[in-house]
Amino acid sequence: MSETTTTTRQIKLLGYIKISGTITAITGLHIGGTADSIDKGGIDNPVIKNPVTNEPYIPGSSLRGKMRSLLEKKTAKQFSPMTDEIWMEMYKGSTPQSTINAMNSEVCRVFGNSASYESIPSILVVRDALYTDDTRKKYMENGLPRTEAKMEIAVDRITAHALPRTIERVPAGAEFNFEMVYKVMEMTFIEKVENKTEVYKTFKPTKDSIKKDIENILWAMEQIQENEGLGGNTSRGHGQVKFELDPLQLKSFDSIIENAINGIVLPDKLKRKTDEKSKAA
């Protein structure tokens, strides 16, 4: 008769590190939504908007997905198929080793890994970025349109036939408040075989691992600003953005977090301009 094996886990919350600030569209920004109706001569590719206020916003999933993709390219670990068409850094398996591999990954320990023996939850919350009060006020007071329609034309290389299309964008200059929360957690995985219980792995974050995770998040944001962009059509000039970060905010239930963030320096290119001016003064 085969033995029955069950696994459980315990999670201890050690604190939070909050990364917040503003995202400014330097060029028109297009993050696609769905059209309510199809009108002849209308917008072919609308941006995503709040259905109540009709204001564009930056979905947390768009920023989070871009950051994960960049970090996967930085670590250059082997990709696995999530579906037939989507490959990413993930660890699949039916043994505890797949969980251990996922927790040792700089990508998966932050963004999660659901395919391992014990699924690893994401510890990074990326919230939707909404208009700042100043941007909302500017559009309302001046009666400016919240979006722009950009005409693009694809030309057949042989016949020179032109195929026009209209892409909706958030205009340059729009600002969004954004916020991310990095949750510091200790995870213990317990395996029970019949009446015998055994802890097969405890993952307690260290000063170095917390520091590395935050630095990786900041690195990804810097690449988005300096070399990549957000949303679609970045190769054609859309989606250039600028981040301006506030100082890191900490809520700690364990001294290990305070020790970790003491050594973290915000990249100069991501610092809020007002902070630089105050230092100069």
Angle at 115 between CA 111 and CA 117, to 5 degrees: 110
> At 259, phi and psi to the nearest 5?
-65, -35
Distance of CA 51 to the CA centre of its chain: 22
pLDDT at res. 40: 45
pLDDT tens column, 126-159: 999 999 999 999 988 888 888 888 888 888 889 9
The closest alpha carbon to 68, from 185, 189, 219, 190, belongs to: 219
Residue range 81-140, pLDDT digits in tens: 877 788 888 999 888 888 888 888 999 999 999 888 888 889 999 999 999 999 999 988
Judge whether 207 and 258 are in contact, CB under 8 Å.
no
Listing DSSP states for 201-212 in one string gives EEE---HHHHHH
What are the angstrom distances between the C-alpha of 208 and each of 18, 60, 113, 256, 261? 18, 27, 21, 10, 10
**Residue written as token pair 């085969």:** 2
In the chain, where does DSSP find H-type helix?
Answer: 60-75, 96-103, 108-111, 133-142, 207-226, 255-261, 273-280
Give the SS3 label for residue 171.
coil
| 17-63 confidence digits (pLDDT tens) | 999 999 999 999 999 865 554 444 456 688 999 999 989 999 999 99
65: tokens are 């997905």
Whole-prediction pTM: 0.86
Q: State whether residue 185 is helix, strand or coil.
A: strand
How far does CA 146 lie from the centroid of its chain?
24
